[in-house]
Structure 1
Amino acid sequence: MELTVDFQGGSDVAGFLFEIEPCGGGERVVAERSLEDLRIPGMIPSLDDNPLDRGSSHLFSDFFTVAEPGCYDVRARPLQENGEPSQECYDAAVSGVQVRAKQTTEVLLLSQCEGDSTGSLDVIAGLNHPPVIVSIEYSPSKFIFECELVEVCVSARDPNADPLSFEFEQVGGQQLFMGPVEVEVEQDGEQARACMQAAPLWNGTYEFRVRVYDMLHENGGLARIEDYVGHPSHAEMVFPVHTNWDIELECYDASTREFHLLPGVREIVRAPGCNPIWPAQFYCSPYKWDDVETTCPDGRFRPETVYPSCDEIYPDGVPENGE
């Protein structure tokens, strides 16, 4: 890269105020002079390399006056166009200048100006790839029962090994009793895994969406790369959870008026505080709910007509664990 620099520099100086005063005090000579149209040393042999380099170019003012032989202190103050002292360039002065009879003493003063500071620009362009979802795992199953806790774990990887964040949300189905709640996140290099839990209250299909974002550091915290670059950088997946009524998996204990799981049915872990809504509580028979008047003419729920008897299934009594 080539840089073009104005060696003349643009300053606020339009001329100089010259002050000549005898050493030790006395009557001063003061004069203002505008900048000349020329530059020095300007290929003048006596000024080349004395002290300015012959190839340099400097604006200047010149004040010529007659003085008595002796010692003088000389000052040149740079002025703006309105006559005020320059805000960018400093006074130049020299003391003890000797003026001799019948001779001209020539003095070159340099007023130093402040320059414009420059900086550097270094542009680094890197590539970023979005995360990739590699697996989704259900526990205990994709098919669960009312109020049962389901845990879904999503594994993802990021080709650039960026930190990953997960976002779970429900996008379909009825209102949940609980969730979705993120319960676990772990990452090791490119691989990351996060789990969510939810508990449905009603039967049906529920849909969830997971989004996996790659992250970077910004303002002392983590921020999504897609917000930083202004383009999408995430992986997403919509997945279902199907919820069943569990009426067909239970028996009714008439002596205790309790319901128990049939042998071989897995233990259902329900969300705390969530009680399933059995269809038989609304329809006297879940198999004939389109004919309620015939099935339940007095409007009373008779579970023994809907559920098998636990006495027949567990003749020795229902085990404590329900199995």
Structure 2
Amino acid sequence: MHMKRHSMVWLAAGLFAMSGCGVDLVEDGPSDSGEVSSTGIALSFDYQGNSDVKKIKFLIKTCHGYPVLEEVRSLEDMQLPGMIPEFMDSPLDGDSHHSFADMFSVLREGCYHVKIVPLNKYGRPSRVCDEAYMNHVKVFAGQTTEVMLISQCEPKKENGAIDVIGVLNHPPVIRGVYFKKFNTECDEVKVCIAAYDPDGDPLKFKLEKKSGPKLLSEPRKIDYPNGDTNGEPDSMESYGGDHNGGDNGNNVGEVQCFKMRLGEAGDYEFKASVYDLLWEGDHLKPFGYDSKASLRFPIYAGEGEDGCCKPKKGSHDDD
């Protein structure tokens, strides 16, 4: 049988290229223009951790771009062990184990480009592991050239950490509401609300009319004067609240007073609400709708002397 100048040789493993690299590690050799009598190439495939790779496609072309081989191999059942002396520290260490696929091919002497493409179970290119290739690989007569191509896979997302702190927040407690219960129509009335928060949170106070005639002026906040509710403590009513500072012994509290002017004679109902606050950025905001204390209470207005008050018509409004 007549043999061409380029003898049959084996192409296996030994030169290395990382994924995405096209660095020529072998100088140009003679190109192969003859036919391939058998196929195969020994390449190994490296990836760390879980991936979508199930197979590897092997491709070989001559350095002139003529296709020589395209074949798909499944990953081996075993892993490439790092204790193989030939691979120790180049690039595998002694304790490492890597999944791989292997193919061996007999080719004519010449110059070749070799490439691997990781495939998923559907035979499509992997989304997480890159192609790897090496150009200008020389195949010499009577020798086996070893090539190891390493496909770099994307790292799995790194683990983070969560540090959960469970905090108990107690709603405020209304210690008392102080006001003059019996009044005359159009009187100016002051209401003071004393409250504390078991956790020492800052407080927000609110006073609103729930039923009764229309007010001549809505409740507005005023300063609490020297610890006295309105200078006439004997004439003030106190509704509800915890006068002992609560079960936890926290006696630190606040007092907020409101002033308003009643309308025509009638029965009024008011609602005092206290919210505890938290910081959100540079602003304080309520913890939530449920974290509050509220108390409803009545105020009565009798008729006054003729001409003492001229309320607006349409007096009754029920919010």
Tell me which interval the TM-score lies in, with the shorter structure as reference length.
0.5 to 0.7
Does residue 254 of structure 2 align to residue 215 of structure 1?
no
Name the CA distance, whole Å, in 1 between partners of 2:199 and 2:264. Answer: 41
SS in structure 2 of the partner of residue 126 of structure 1: coil
Name the CA distance, whole Å, in 2 between partners of 1:157 and 1:22. Answer: 86
Q: Considering Cα pairs closer than 8 Å and 6+ residues apart, tell me whether 1 or 2 has the greater RCO.
A: 2
Tell me what 1:96 maps to: 136
Tell me what 1:39 maps to: 79
Larger radius of gyration: 1
**More divergent stretch after superposition (216-225 vs 65-74):** 216-225
Name the CA distance, whole Å, in 2 between partners of 1:28 and 1:180. Answer: 95
Structure 2 residues without counterparts, runs of 5 or longer: 1-46, 225-251
What code does the residue aligned with 2:132 have? A
Name the CA distance, whole Å, in 2 between partners of 1:113 and 1:170. Answer: 68
Does residue 181 of structure 2 align to residue 142 of structure 1?
yes
> Which of 301, 313, 317 is residue 243 of structure 1 equivalent to?
301
What code does the residue aligned with 1:176 have? P
Does residue 153 of structure 2 align to residue 113 of structure 1?
yes
Q: Percent identity of the aligned residues?
A: 39
Tell me what 2:165 maps to: 124
Q: Deviations over 1:167-189 (max 9, x none)?
A: 43445xx62221783412789x9
Q: CA deviation at 1:76?
A: 0.4
SS in structure 2 of the partner of residue 46 of structure 1: helix
What code does the residue aligned with 1:209 have? K
TM superposition score normalised by structure 2: 0.62
What code does the residue aligned with 1:193 have? Q
Does the 8 Å CA contact 2:56/2:101 hold for their aligned counterparts? yes
More strand by share: 2
Q: Deviations over 1:78-118 (max 9, x none)?
A: 11223221222110112232323322222111112223313
Quickly say closer, same or farther: Cα 1:91–1:170, change in 2 above 3 A. same
Name the CA distance, whole Å, in 2 between partners of 1:24 and 1:161. Answer: 81
> Which of 28, 51, 54 is residue 11 of structure 1 equivalent to?
51
Matches within 5 A, 1:52-67: 52-67=92-107
Quickly say closer, same or farther: Cα 1:214–1:124, change in 2 above 3 A. same
Q: CA deviation at 1:135?
A: 4.7
Q: Deviations over 1:47-77 (max 9, x none)?
A: 3433112222221111110123333221101
Does the 8 Å CA contact 1:17/1:76 hold for their aligned counterparts? yes
What code does the residue aligned with 2:212 have? Q
Tell me what 2:121 maps to: 81
Does the 8 Å CA contact 1:147/1:177 hold for their aligned counterparts? no
> Which of 102, 105, 110 is residue 70 of structure 1 equivalent to?
110
Name the CA distance, whole Å, in 1 between partners of 2:278 and 2:295. Answer: 22
What code does the residue aligned with 2:269 have? E
Q: Deviations over 1:177-214 (max 9, x none)?
A: 21783412789x9746252525142245x332211111
Q: Deviations over 1:224-271 (max 9, x none)?
A: 3244xxxx4222233332323335xxxxxxxxxxx58xxxxxxx7x58
Q: CA deviation at 1:34?
A: 1.2
- The CA RMSD measured in Å over matched residues stands at 3.6
> Which of 206, 214, 233 is residue 177 of structure 1 equivalent to?
214
Structure 1 residues without counterparts, runs of 5 or longer: 1-6, 248-258, 261-267, 277-323
Tell me what 1:302 maps to: none
SS in structure 1 of the partner of residue 145 of structure 2: coil
Name the CA distance, whole Å, in 1 between partners of 2:172 and 2:310. Answer: 32
Number of aligned residue pairs: 241
TM superposition score normalised by structure 1: 0.61
Name the CA distance, whole Å, in 2 between partners of 1:90 and 1:190. Answer: 66
Name the CA distance, whole Å, in 2 between partners of 1:13 and 1:106. Answer: 23
